[in-house]
Structure 1
Amino acid sequence: MRNPSKIKEGAVEFSLGDWDGKVMVYSFAKMWIYLEAKGKLLFGRGFKLYGEDRELLFTLCNYIIRDEMNCRKLGIDPDKGLLLSGPVGCGKTSLIKLLRYLVPHRRPYELIPCRNIVFGFNHVGYPTISGYGNSGFYCFDDLGVEPTGRHFGKDCNVMGEILLSRYELFKNHRVMTHATTNLNAEELEDRYGNRVRSRMREMFNLVAFPNHTKDKRKQVVPACNQTK
């Protein structure tokens, strides 16, 4: 079996922890170093992880590596999907893109902006909705702020319908769905209704940035940074 403790990026090899051939013991400090390095490769040299997000990132890392003991302590279920919420610019999309690289030996999820799904529905119609009712592994980005779908004069809450389809997949086949959102629970219920919101509680672990989290896109970041 491939050694899951080593990840190579170009000529540089990163360690995520210790592997004895059977058991992988991850190191959060090493995962932090790798995620920041991978972030710079994906998003530019100005990318950095913020100490203020350390607790949240610890939760996300334990979730993605399926550390059952820490997940129990943190109150999250590794067999449910992830709903990552927080204010605009807090870094939700960047982190959800990065997390999947920690577990290259597992099937990656595809990150899709919700607005793109709605635009597809407006062009193609209901096959767009049924297309997401399959066993695909998806993360829906910016859930709740997409426009209402409209096809041949009929309005449709496209993402609400897709979430209902994904719920059936989750209940019957344990297929997980992830999502990011700027909205809180009440706003999601207003957007999709009580029925969808109730099913989202079953489908997702909610991991939230604090409401006071700053917009990181407005911060000036030096080209080179070091983590503690």
Structure 2
Amino acid sequence: MANPSKIIEGSVVYSLGEFDGKKVEYDFAKVAMYLEAKGQLIFGKHFKIYEEDKGVLLKLCNYIVRDYENCAKYGIDPHKGILLTGPVGCGKTSLMRLIRYIVPHRRPYELIPSRNVAFGFNHIGFKIIEDYGNGHFYCFDDLGVEPLGRHFGKDCNVMGEIILSRYDLFLKSKIPTHATTNLNAEELEERYGKRVRSRMRQMFNLIAFDKNTKDKRN
């Protein structure tokens, strides 16, 4: 059996914890070290895991490895998806791109910019809502700042409709949806309406960066 506690990047072997043949006992310090190294491979040598973000990262890691005990401690439901919120440039997208790599033995989710989905609607119409309401695993990036969709003169709040489709999928098949957003709960409700906001509460675990987190892109 392959050892899921060891990940090879090039010629370097990273240990994420101890594997007893049945389950991995993850070591968060080792996981953070691996994610920083993987982040530098993907985003460039400037990438780093900031000390002030480790609380958010710890919750995300416990979720992605399905540590049920720690998930319960942090009020996270491992069967729901993640809604990662925080100010512009705080690193939401980078972390959601990275944490997938901790569990290469599991089916990964695809990161999709929400604005691309709205632009897709403009080209192919309502079929795009069907396409994203399927059984694939997605993380919709920058939820809430995408434009309204318009196809042959018909306006559509595309991501709102997709969230409703994904909610039905979650109820039927327990397939989670993830998202990142700069918006708070009130802004999301204003953007998508009460019905969608209510569904989001049932679909997502809310994990939030501190509102004063600095913009790491500067």
TM above 0.5, yes or no, is: yes
Q: Taking structure 1 as the reference length, what is the TM-score of the superposition? A: 0.95
| Aligned partner of residue 216 in structure 1, secondary structure | coil
Q: How far has the Cα of 1:22 moved from its partner?
A: 1.1
Aligned to 1:46: 46
Distance 2:169 2:77 in 1: 17
Alignment-mate amino acid for residue 147 of structure 2: P
Alignment-mate amino acid for residue 158 of structure 2: V
Aligned to 2:114: 114
1:34 aligns with 2:34: yes
Distance 2:21 2:173 in 1: 30
Q: Residues 139-218 of structure 1 correspond to what in structure 2 (within 5 A)?
A: 139-218=139-218
Q: How far has the Cα of 1:133 moved from its partner?
A: 1.1
Aligned to 1:99: 99
Aligned to 1:4: 4
| Aligned partner of residue 8 in structure 1, secondary structure | strand
CA offsets 1:71-111 (integer angstroms, 9 cap, x no match): 00000011100000000000000000000000000000000
Distance 2:45 2:213 in 1: 22
| Aligned partner of residue 217 in structure 1, secondary structure | coil
1:125 aligns with 2:125: yes
Distance 1:160 1:124 in 2: 17
Q: How far has the Cα of 1:8 moved from its partner?
A: 0.2
Distance 2:115 2:54 in 1: 30
Q: How far has the Cα of 1:23 moved from its partner?
A: 2.0
Deviation larger for 54-63 or 179-188: 54-63
CA offsets 1:173-228 (integer angstroms, 9 cap, x no match): 1010000000000000000000000000000000000110100111xxxxxxxxxx
Aligned to 2:83: 83
Q: How far has the Cα of 1:27 moved from its partner?
A: 0.2
Alignment-mate amino acid for residue 186 of structure 1: E
Alignment-mate amino acid for residue 178 of structure 1: H
Alignment-mate amino acid for residue 45 of structure 1: K
Q: How far has the Cα of 1:2 moved from its partner?
A: 1.6
Q: How far has the Cα of 1:136 moved from its partner?
A: 0.7
| Aligned partner of residue 142 in structure 2, secondary structure | strand
- Could you list the runs of 5+ residues in structure 1 that have no partner in the other structure? 219-228
Distance 1:28 1:20 in 2: 17
Q: Taking structure 2 as the reference length, what is the TM-score of the superposition? A: 0.99
| Aligned partner of residue 155 in structure 1, secondary structure | strand
Distance 2:23 2:121 in 1: 45
| Aligned partner of residue 111 in structure 2, secondary structure | strand
1:24 aligns with 2:6: no
CA offsets 1:133-192 (integer angstroms, 9 cap, x no match): 110100000000000000001110000000000000001110100000000000000000
Distance 1:24 1:151 in 2: 49
